């Protein structure tokens, strides 16, 4: 999964890309127009175009009228290669998960693309990043604010959230372990991969440094040419500086990875606690409904007893 944000200057091209309404889609090497008919949109059908919907929604919310303001955002979620379930259910559930965070009234479109042979089926969840907040007079308002909606915390939380949401809805997909595309990886995985790359770079630098620093037998290594050590001193110093820089960066990445593991464990712990509380509340609700039903039956029996007693009294009086 990854997200992109777009200003109004990009709206036309992006909306046409999602719906495949561009004039010459066949000019794009990664699109097979014979498969485009299998694409589908999960967003609500509207009587207006997507662009008209965006313009209408902008009139309803507070926003800055500048060219650099991000009007829409696009989350791209890809079907994992190892997914064995129902593809449409996967995207429908993911769509509902996104709606639970960003509200369906802000959704522009949610096109599932199946016409790109070089890529797995994927969904473009296009929405307007609208925030519910209050103005200076403490009045409830809606505000277009991509920075607030798609902040750093949101980008850290969305991957584990979506995997848990899919799991709760009986869609077993491992988004956090997906290896097919960089955009479909979690922040944790990207940092782990970067750490591995940095370590390999450090090892390469050490190997190069060793070759430079240890010309044990220059006459044999350089085919009879004796090269003085001082000639390489400048290169050695530069390599040492880069090596130290890489090692410091690796330590920082390891620290970040530990923090991400801690955050994930906390999120998982909170989810389990909330799930437990939900089940307890549900059980209490069922008990409450059962008690209500029992009270109704008791009241009904009481009314029936009163009716029979009254009837017997009437019969006794008339018999006298």
Mean pLDDT over each residue of the chain, to the nearest integer: 81
Q: What is the pLDDT of residue 155?
A: 93
Q: What is the pLDDT of residue 167?
A: 93
Per-residue b or e along 270-299, where b marks 16 or more CB atoms closer than 10 Å to that residue's CB: eeeeeeeeeeeeeeeeeeeeeeeeeeeeee
Report whether pLDDT(233) > 90. no
Rounded to whole angstroms, the Cα distance separating 203 from 197 reads 10
Q: What is the pLDDT of residue 126?
A: 97
Q: Which two tokens stand for residue 234?
A: 């400048």
259 — pLDDT class (breaks 50, 70, 90): confident
3-class secondary structure, 141: strand
Give the helix, strand, coil percentages of the chain, each rounded to 5: 60, 15, 25
Q: Summarize the confidence of residues 140-152 as an average pLDDT.
A: 94
Q: What is the pLDDT of residue 240?
A: 81
Q: Summarize the confidence of residues 46-54 as an average pLDDT.
A: 94
Handedness of CA 167, 169, 152, 75 (dihedral sign): positive
Q: What is the pTM of this model?
A: 0.56
Within a 10 A sphere around the Cβ of 63, how many other Cβ atoms?
Answer: 17
Q: What is the pLDDT of residue 203?
A: 64
187 — pLDDT class (breaks 50, 70, 90): very low
Q: What is the pLDDT of residue 219?
A: 44
Is the model more confident about 286 or about 163? 163
Question: What residue spans of 214-232 are helical by DSSP H?
Answer: 218-221
Q: Summarize the confidence of residues 15-26 as an average pLDDT.
A: 78
Strands ordered across the beta sheet of 107-113: 2-7, 70-78, 122-127, 107-113, 40-41
Report whether pLDDT(230) > 70. no
Handedness of CA 136, 139, 140, 141 (dihedral sign): negative
Q: What is the pLDDT of residue 179?
A: 43
Is the model more confident about 296 or about 94? 94
Cα distances (Å, whole numbers) of residue 203 to 194, 199, 206, 211, 244: 14, 6, 5, 13, 12
Which residues have a Cβ under 8 Å from the Cβ of 22 and sit 6 or more positions away?
Answer: 13, 16
Name which of 53-67, 72-86, 229-243, 268-282 the model is least confident about.
229-243
Does residue 121 contact residue 79 with C-beta atoms inside 8 Å? yes
Is the model more confident about 25 or about 136? 136
Give the CB-side neighbour count of residue 244, counting CA atoms within 13 A. 5
Cα distances (Å, whole numbers) of residue 163 to 98, 160, 168: 12, 5, 9
Q: What is the pLDDT of residue 226?
A: 53
Q: Summarize the confidence of residues 238-261 as an average pLDDT.
A: 81
Rounded to whole angstroms, the Cα distance separating 201 from 246 reads 8
Q: What is the pLDDT of residue 102?
A: 96
């Amino acid at each position: 999964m990854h997200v992109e944000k777009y200003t109004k200057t990009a709206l036309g091209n992006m909306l046409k890309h999602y719906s495949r309404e561009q004039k010459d889609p066949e000019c794009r090497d990664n699109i097979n127009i014979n498969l485009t008919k299998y694409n589908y949109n999960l967003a609500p059908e509207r009587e207006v175009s997507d662009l008209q919907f965006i313009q209408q929604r902008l009139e309803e919310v507070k926003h800055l009228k500048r060219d650099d303001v991000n009007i829409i955002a696009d989350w791209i979620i890809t079907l994992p290669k190892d997914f064995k379930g129902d593809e449409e259910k996967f995207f429908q559930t993911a769509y509902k998960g996104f709606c639970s965070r960003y509200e369906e009234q802000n959704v522009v479109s949610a096109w599932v693309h199946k016409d790109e042979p070089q890529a797995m089926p994927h969904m473009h969840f296009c929405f307007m990043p609208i925030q519910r907040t209050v103005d200076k007079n403490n009045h409830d308002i809606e505000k277009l604010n991509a920075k607030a909606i798609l902040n750093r915390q949101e980008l850290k939380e969305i991957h584990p959230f979506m995997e848990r949401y899919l799991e709760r809805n009986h869609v077993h997909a491992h988004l956090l372990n997906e290896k097919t595309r960089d955009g479909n990886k979690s922040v944790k995985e990207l940092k782990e991969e970067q750490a591995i790359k940095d370590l390999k770079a450090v090892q390469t630098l050490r190997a190069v440094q060793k070759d430079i620093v240890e010309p044990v037998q220059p006459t044999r290594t350089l085919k009879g040419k004796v090269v003085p050590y001082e000639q390489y001193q400048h290169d050695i110093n530069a390599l040492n500086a880069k090596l130290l820089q890489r090692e410091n960066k690796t330590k920082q990445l390891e620290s970040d990875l530990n923090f991400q593991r801690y955050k994930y464990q906390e999120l998982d712990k909170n989810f389990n606690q909330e799930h437990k509380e939900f089940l307890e509340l549900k059980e209490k609700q069922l008990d409450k409904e059962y008690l209500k039903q029992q009270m109704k039956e008791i009241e009904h029996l009481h009314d029936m007893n009163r009716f029979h007693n009254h009837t017997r009294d009437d019969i006794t009086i008339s018999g006298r």
